[in-house]
Chain A
Amino acid sequence: MAAITLDRIVKKYGDGFPAVNDVSLDIKDGEFVILVGPSGCGKSTLLRMIVGLEDITDGDLSIGGTRVNDKAPRDRNLAMVFQNYALYPHLSVFENIAFPLRLAKGKHSDDEVRRRVDEAADLLELRDHLERKPANLSGGQRQRVAMGRAIVRQADAFLFDEPLSNLDAKLRGQMRTEIARMQRRLGTTTVYVTHDQTEAMTLGDRVAVLRKGELQQVASPRELYEEPVNLFVAGFIGSPPMNFLPAQLEGTTLSLPFGAVEITPDVAERARGAEFLIAGLRPEHVEDSETLEGPRRDRGVTFDVDVDVTEWLGNELYAYVPFSPDERVAAKLAELDKELDGESMRHQMVVTLDARSRVRDGDRARLWFDPASLHLFDPSSGLSLTRDEDRAREIQVDSEAMRQQALERSRAHAEAVGQGAPA
C-alpha cells in the first residue's frame, strides 16, 4: 500500500493539445479516489499515466514517496482493471488470476500460487469457475476475474478504468457494492475512473472532477453535492442534475423565472455588479407545497408554475416545468449542457416531488423550496457565489474522520480474522 502523489501533471499529445493540464492530487494511503468527468475530460489518460501506460509530459508522479515517472508499468507494482477486462482468452480463470504471480518467477511456490488464487477466488466467489475459459463466462464473472487478477498480487494500489461500464444496470449496482466491500476489506489505495456520477458518489472517499483536462474540485461526495465550487461541478454531480435558472439581482431580492426570493446580504454583496446570474436549484430541494407540513413549509417560499409532464416512479415523482430564459443565459446554459455531455432540447426545470403529490401533466401546481438551498453562480467565471468555505472545511474534516474510522474497522476486522492487516 502506498500514497500516490500527482504534482502538476501535464499530458500533451503530438499536436500540443493538453489532454491533462496541471493536475495536482494527493491520494492518501488506503484512500478510494474517483476521477470523474464527461467523456474526453482526460480522466482515463490520467489513470494510464499513473499506471505507466502513457508517458508523462511534465510534472512529477510519486508512489509511496518514490518518483516513478520513468519506471515501466511492471516496476510500479500497481494492479489495474481494464474497461474491457482484458482477460487472457487462452488461459483458464485460474491461470488468468495466477498470471501476475507466475510472472514473478521463482518468487512463489506452486502451493503458494494455488493458495493465493484460491483466496482471491473465494473473495470473489469464483471457486466454481476456476477451470473455465473466459469465453464461457458471463460479463459479471469476467469482471470478477479481472478483479481477481488485480487483488492476487498485493499491489500497492488498485486502478480501475470504468470497470462497470460494460455491465447491465442491475449487475452494475451489485458489482459496485462488491468493489466497495473489497476495497474496505483490503484497505488498498484505489483510483477509480468513471463517467457515472452515481459510482463516483457512492464509491469514493474523495472525488476529483475533471473538465477538459483540468481539475475542477477534489472533495468528498458530500462536499461536492452541497458546496460545489462552480457551475460545472454543480451540474455534473446529482441526478437528476441541478436546474440552472436565469436570475437577476436587485438589492437582496433575486428574481427567478417563477418568482422572487430574498437572499442573504453577504451573498448579495459578492454578486453585486453582475448583470445577470445563474441560480442552481436541485430537483430534490423542491417540494409540492400540498404534501408539506407546518414548520418546514414556513421556512421556504412557494410559487405557482405550469407543469408540462410528470413521471411517477413509485418512490418519487418527477415534474417538468418549462421556462424561457433570455438569450445570454440561454447561450451560457447551452454551452454548459454540451460540456456535460447533455443533449437537452428545451429549457425546463426538473423537480423531484413526494410520490404522494397529486400533480399531473398540464396541472398548475404550487411548489415550495427553501432559499437557503439555492446556489448562485457568476455566469462569466462560472464560480459559485454561495459556497461556504467554513462549512466545506467542516465537511472535509468530518469525511476524513469517517474514512479513518472505516479503515480502522477494516484493520481490526482483518486482525480478528487472523489474516493480519494487509501489508
Chain B
Amino acid sequence: MSTGEKVLWWVAGLAIVVYALFPVVWILSLSLKSNAGLTENRFWPSEVTWSNYQLILTGDASDLFLPALRNSIGIALIATLIAVVLATLTAYAVSRLQFPGKKLLLTTALAVAIFPVISIVTPLFNIWRTIGLYDTWPGLIIPYLAVTLPLAIWTLSAFFREIPWDMEQAAQVDGATTWQAFTKVIVPLAVPGVFTTAIIAFFLAWNDFVFGISLTSTDASRPVPAALAFFTGASQFEEPTGATSAAAVVVTIPVVIIVLVFQRRIVAGLTNGAVKG
C-alpha cells in the first residue's frame, strides 16, 4: 500500500469512528455536567460532576433505575439463553435434515423477523392483560423470543452449513449417538456462530423500547429503556437530561463488556485442519 493510500484509509477510518462515537461522547459529556452546566452551550463540561450518577444509583432516581436495571439484565439474559438453545437445535435440524415444511418454516421465520413490531404491540397488550402476563418477566421474554429466534435460526443455520458433514459421520462411525455427535462435535465447532447469535439476541432484547414501555406498568418488569422515560427533573419545569444521560451510559457498559468478552470467541477459521489441507 502506498503512503497516499494509507493516509486515505486512516482518514476514512477516523471519519467513521468520529461519526459513530460522537453521540456516545455527547451523552457521556452530558452525564458529567451539572444542571447549570447543561445550558452552557459547550461540548465539554466546564466542571465535571458525578451528581447525575449519584442520583440514579443511590439518590432519588435509584428507586426507578435500579429495579429497571435488574429487570433488563434478567430478561435479556433469559431471553438470550432460551433463544440460543432453541435456535441451535432448530438450525441444526434445518441445515441437516430434509423434512416436509422446511421451506415454510424458514420463510415464516423470516416473515416474523421483518414484521413491524409496533403493529403487534396493541393486540399483545390486550392478550397479556387477559391471560395475566402483563407486567411480568415472561410477558417480555416471549415477545423478545419471537423477534430474536428467526434471526438466530438464520444466522446459526448458516454456520452449521459450513461444518463438513463428514465430521458428524466420522463421530457416528466412532460410536457416537446422534446426540453425542451433535454435542461433542457439531456444537463446539459452531461456537463462534453460537456467540454471534447470542450477542445479536442480547442486543435486541436489551435495546427494546416498544415492548418495554407497552407491556409493563411497574418496577416488577419495566426494563431500563422504558424506565428512562419516567425520569423526572427536580421540578416539573426541569428536564432530567443529566440523569437520563447517566443512565444511558450505565446501560451501555454491559453491552461493551459483552462484546469485548465474546469477541475473542468469534474467531474465524475454527474449522481449520478439520478436513484436507
Contact = CB atoms under 8 A, between A and B. Distances in A.
A163 to B, nearest CB: 11
Interface in B185-229: 185, 188-189, 191
A117 B166 CA distance: 22
A89 B174 contact: no
Chain A interface, >50% SS class: loop
B270 A86 contact: no
Interface stretch (A21-29, A74-82, A408-416): A74-82
Interface string A198-242: 000000000000000000000000000000000000000000000
Contacts of B277: 138-139, 142, 166
Contacts of B58: none
Contacts, number: 88
B188 A100 contact: no
Nearest to A107: B175
B274 interface: yes
B166 A133 contact: no
Given A90-B188, A90-B189, A84 B174 contact: no
A60 to B, nearest CB: 21
B41 interface: no
B173 A53 contact: yes
Contacts of A53: 169, 172-173
Interface in A65-89: 72-74, 78-80, 82-89
A142 B275 CA distance: 9
A11 to B, nearest CB: 16
Contacts of A138: 277
Contacts of A139: 276-277
A133 B189 CA distance: 13
- Among B173, B177, B184, B277: residue with most chain A CB under 10 A: B173
Interface residues of A, number: 33
A89 B176 contact: no
A103 B276 contact: no
B272 interface: yes
Given A84-B164, A88-B274, A103 B176 contact: yes
Nearest to A137: B273
A153 B172 CA distance: 14
Contacts of A80: 170, 173
Contacts of B177: 74
Contacts of B184: 99, 103
A86 B273 contact: no
Contacts of B188: 88, 90
A134 interface: yes
A135 B180 CA distance: 23
Interface string A83-106: 111111110000000011001100
A149 interface: yes
Contacts of A153: 174-175
Nearest to A136: B273
Q: Interface size class for chain B?
A: 20 to 34
B172 A73 contact: yes
B46 interface: no
A100 B164 CA distance: 19
Contact of B172 (A72, A133, A166): A72
B172 A89 contact: no
Nearest to A103: B175
B275 A86 contact: yes
A89 B190 CA distance: 11
Given A53-B169, A86-B167, A89-B189, A149 B174 contact: yes
A51 interface: yes
A85 B164 CA distance: 11
B274 A78 contact: no
Contact of A100 (B174, B185, B272): B174
Given A138-B277, A139-B277, A89 B270 contact: yes
Contacts of A100: 174-175
Given A74-B177, A88-B167, A142 B273 contact: yes
A74 B271 CA distance: 24
B99 to A, nearest CB: 15
Interface in B46-69: none
A88 B173 contact: no
A95 to B, nearest CB: 10
| Shortest 8 CB-CB contacts between residues of A and residues of B | A135-B273, A134-B273, A84-B275, A86-B170, A86-B166, A135-B272, A89-B274, A100-B174
Interface of B: 164, 166-167, 169-177, 180, 184-185, 188-189, 191, 270-277
10 contacts: A51-B173, A52-B173, A53-B173, A73-B173, A79-B173, A83-B276, A86-B275, A99-B171, A103-B176, A104-B175
Given A74-B174, A103-B180, 5 more contacts: A80-B173, A85-B275, A88-B188, A138-B277, A153-B174
